Amino acid sequence: MGDGRRQDEIPTGGFAAVAPGQLLHVENLPPDDGAYRAVCLCLPQAMLDPADLAPADASPWAALPALRALEQAFAHVEQGVSEQLPENLLRHRVAELVAAVALAGYRPPMQRDRGLGERIRLLLNTQPAREWRAEEVAGQLALSTATLRRRLAEETTSFRGILEEVRLTHGLALVQGSHKPLKQVAAECGYASPSRFAARFRERFGTLPSELRD
């Protein structure tokens, strides 16, 4: 795993904690029998207590040892997401996980001032399946459509790219954290065609949604 400057190998049973807004390259290396299970939990920034955060210049991610407390806390949150617990109950489990991550030696950094792309991600995350248009989002952010597109280009991204990223990341969370049929998952991510959703999912994550449930 690396960000262009560092690389780390996470052993079987280990964990990686990643702060919001990071772009990492992850390569899964299956064991000799070819079978493995990798789980990703995406937690909203709003669920983190500012008191649990490190200064903004702290490390954006870390490989963590497989401590028993961390294993238990992670499983607790994974179960809560799978069972679709109410948010107030899930917050308690997330707090337990954040404490276990801190015990393992990592505190995520506070976010710096959000760029336009991050502000758009937060907005689109509220309704991933909605038929968002750049003109509508620009209006909500008090920008012209041309200014929105220009500023996103300066951040080396685009409105369409952010929308697809938000939808597919939401899809990954639903595939791994729920038992919803994949057709329903595709619809909740804004894809009328399950096959198109599966193709885009594979392009982004290197595997089909169905393969994550085998």
Q: In terms of pLDDT, which residue wins out, 173 or 199?
A: 199
CA dihedral 125, 25, 93, 35 (to 10 degrees): 120
Instruction: Kindly report, residue by residue over 29-61, the tens digit of the pLDDT.
Output: 777 776 777 788 877 666 677 677 777 677 888
Count CA atoms within 13 Å of residue 19 on its CB side: 20
How far is Cα of residue 129 from the mean position of the Cα atoms in its chain? Answer: 16
The 10 Å Cβ neighbour count of residue 109 is: 18
pLDDT (0 to 100) of residue 18: 85
Whole-Å CA distances, 52 to 43, 81, 89, 97:
14, 21, 19, 11
Query: Is the pTM higher than 0.85?
Result: no
User: Taking the domains of the chain in order of start, what are their residue ranges?
Assistant: 15-103, 116-213
- Angle between helix axes 159-177 and 116-125 (nearest 10 degrees) is 40
Q: In terms of pLDDT, which residue wins out, 167 or 118?
A: 167
Instruction: Kindly report, residue by residue over 84-115, the tens digit of the pLDDT.
Output: 788 788 888 988 998 999 888 888 776 655 68
Is residue 85 classed as helix, strand or coil in its secondary structure? coil
Instruction: Kindly report, residue by residue over 148-186, the tens digit of the pLDDT.
Output: 999 999 999 999 999 999 999 999 988 887 889 999 999
Topology of domain 116-213, CATH: Arc Repressor Mutant, subunit A (1.10.10)
First to last CA, the chain: 25
Of all residues in the chain, the percent with pLDDT exceeding 70 is 86
pLDDT (0 to 100) of residue 143: 92
